[in-house]
Amino acid sequence: QVQLVESGGGLVQPGGSLTLSCAASGFTFSYAHMSWYRQAPGKERELVARLGATNGSFAYVDSVKGRFTISRDNAKNTVYLQMSSLKPEDTAVYFCNANYWNWNTGGHTAWGQGTQVTVSS
């Protein structure tokens, strides 16, 4: 069964740092493209960062460039989102997303349950 399990969220003060983790199972992780999305109350879900099959292929939304880093460890089937210089506007539920392909069933998208990040004094 395909699963994405996020962890690492919590309360942090402005300017602080957090690292989110997403543990994946049920598919071939090394070929999957992984992403982090976030959704704040009353806002649409927003793509934050995207990572290809290697750490050399990535993209970020402009608002987090220079502050967030997406990476993956294929040996651990885990994708990370390192967040620094956090701002109150970063407050949201953060979701892990996987896009993967199976020879027999084609392309698939999976979502984690989300983890809350709150940036506040």
Please determine, for residue 118, whether its predicted confidence score (pLDDT) is greater than 90: yes
Distance CA 94, CA 96 (A): 7
Inter-residue contact 45 to 39 (CB < 8 Å): yes
Please determine, for residue 119, whether its predicted confidence score (pLDDT) is greater than 80: yes
Segment 35-80, tens digit of pLDDT: 999 999 999 999 999 999 877 899 999 999 999 999 999 999 999 9
Q: What pLDDT sits at residue 54?
A: 77
Please determine, for residue 114, whether its predicted confidence score (pLDDT) is greater than 90: yes
Q: What pLDDT sits at residue 113?
A: 97
